[in-house]
Structure 1
Amino acid sequence: SFKEQTNLTPNVYWNTLRMEEAVRQLQWSQEPLISVACNLGFTTQGNFSRFFRDHVGVPPTLYREAARATA
């Protein structure tokens, strides 16, 4: 099964991939948050922001600002 092979459920695996891509896009693109959210399959910027904050610990706007400040 998928979980036996990856040690993750499909949902956890998918969400991990989405967060990795969200981090990449926030660090390196100039796309507005709504575009990043849509690129990753979120229906609203609010849903994306909550999801990101819950997984990363800070809102995506603050993450982007911090990433750019250290670049």
Structure 2
Amino acid sequence: MHDRFADALTVDDMAEAALFSKYHFTRLFRDVTGVSPGRYLAAVRMAHAKHLLRTTDMKVVDITVGIGYSSVGTFSSRFRLHVGISPTQYRTQARGEQPAPLLEAA
């Protein structure tokens, strides 16, 4: 998963790579990690997204595609659910920057 997190991985793909049925793989994976394969993959993707937001100037849309999401909206909502703030807010806070004003003073 760590090497192919940007791919459209399914539990079937992971189970096949591990040479188990998907049911046996899912049960073993949960027993070892404490979470389902899908949740683990989501956490790996979010960790990579957070790293890219902190260390690059890549656009959020490029990060979205680069970590395996096809929709910026889906990525942003899942990022907010996982981290508590939007990707843009995370980048701003992680870099210690001041947020851009919503309206310019006249």
Question: TM > 0.5 between the two?
Answer: yes
> Over aligned residues, Cα RMSD in angstroms?
1.1
Q: Percent identity?
A: 33
How far apart are 1:60 and its partner, in Å? 0.5
Question: Which of 40, 46, 61 matches 1:19?
Answer: 46
Structure 1: give runs of 5+ residues left out of the alignment. none
Structure 2 CA distance, aligned partners of 1:49 and 1:29?
17
Counterparts of 1:44-55 in structure 2, within 5 Å, are 44-55=71-82
Residue 29 of structure 1 pairs with residue 63 of structure 2: no
Alpha-carbon offset, residue 68 of structure 1: 1.2
Amino acid corresponding to residue 38 of structure 1 in structure 2? V
Once residues 4 and 54 of structure 1 are traced to their aligned partners in structure 2, the CA distance between those partners, rounded to angstroms, is: 25
Query: Whose helix fraction is larger, Structure 1's or Structure 2's?
Result: 1
Q: CA deviation at 1:41?
A: 0.9
Question: 2:65 is matched with which residue?
Answer: 38
Q: SS at the partner of 2:95?
A: helix
User: Which stretches of structure 1, 4 residues or longer, exceed 2 Å deviation after superposition?
Assistant: none
Q: Which runs of 5+ in 2 are unaligned?
A: 1-27, 98-106
For 2:48, give the aligned amino acid: E
* Distance in 2 of aligned mates of 1:64 and 1:16: 18
Which protein shows a greater Rg? 2
Distance in 2, Cα, partners of 1:65 & 1:52: 15
Can you list the C-alpha shifts for 1:2-42, whole angstroms capped at 9, x where unaligned?
Answer: 11121211011111101111110100011000000000111
In structure 1, the residue matched to 2:22 is none
> Secondary structure at the residue paired with 2:43?
helix
